[in-house]
Amino acid sequence: VQLQACGGGLVQAGGCLRLSCVASERTLSAYAVGWFRQAPGKEREFVARISWPGASTYYADSLKGRFTISRDNIKDTAYLQLNTLGPEDTAIYYCAAARRLGRPGRERSEYDYWGQGTQLTVSS
């Protein structure tokens, strides 16, 4: 499964953005999807994940309430809605897919496939 995250860009602080994750060649069906991010000079960190077909979601505690993960199984796309953005949210955002995901599903090693990431820059 090849994944593509898109929708990043330059946003002013306080703004919002929606990232999308699509799969090429195959489908996201039957895969749990996670979002991670990596800020300059920092480790890649977990953001959120959603189960297949979407009944269960889980968020990093620090981001809960501002970010929302969802999926549209007809469009075969997963999303990450980011609200009230701040400069601390500047990072490359990656989506990942897992055939089998434990609970809570926040470890990078649990994911089988990764996209190349999309850059989000939040200006102050």
Q: Write the CA distances from 82 to 2, 30, 99, 109, 112, integer angstroms.
A: 23, 25, 25, 24, 24
> What digits encode the pLDDT tens for the residues 58-114?
999 999 899 999 999 999 999 999 999 999 999 999 999 999 998 899 999 999 999
> What digits encode the pLDDT tens for the residues 47-68?
999 999 989 999 999 998 999 9
Please say if the pLDDT value at position 1 is more than 90.
Answer: no
CB atoms within 10 A of CB 44: 16
Please say if the pLDDT value at position 24 is more than 90.
Answer: no
Please say if the pLDDT value at position 25 is more than 90.
Answer: no
Could you tell me if 90 and 8 are in contact, meaning their C-beta atoms sit under 8 angstroms apart? Answer: no
Confidence of residue 27 (pLDDT cuts 50, 70, 90): confident
What DSSP designation does 8 have? Answer: -
What DSSP designation does 52 have? Answer: S
Could you tell me if 94 and 79 are in contact, meaning their C-beta atoms sit under 8 angstroms apart? Answer: no
Please say if the pLDDT value at position 26 is more than 90.
Answer: no
E-strand ranges in 1-124 read 2-6, 9-12, 17-24, 32-38, 45-50, 57-59, 67-72, 77-82, 91-98, 113-114, 118-123
Angle, CA of 26, 30 and 36, to the nearest 5°: 85
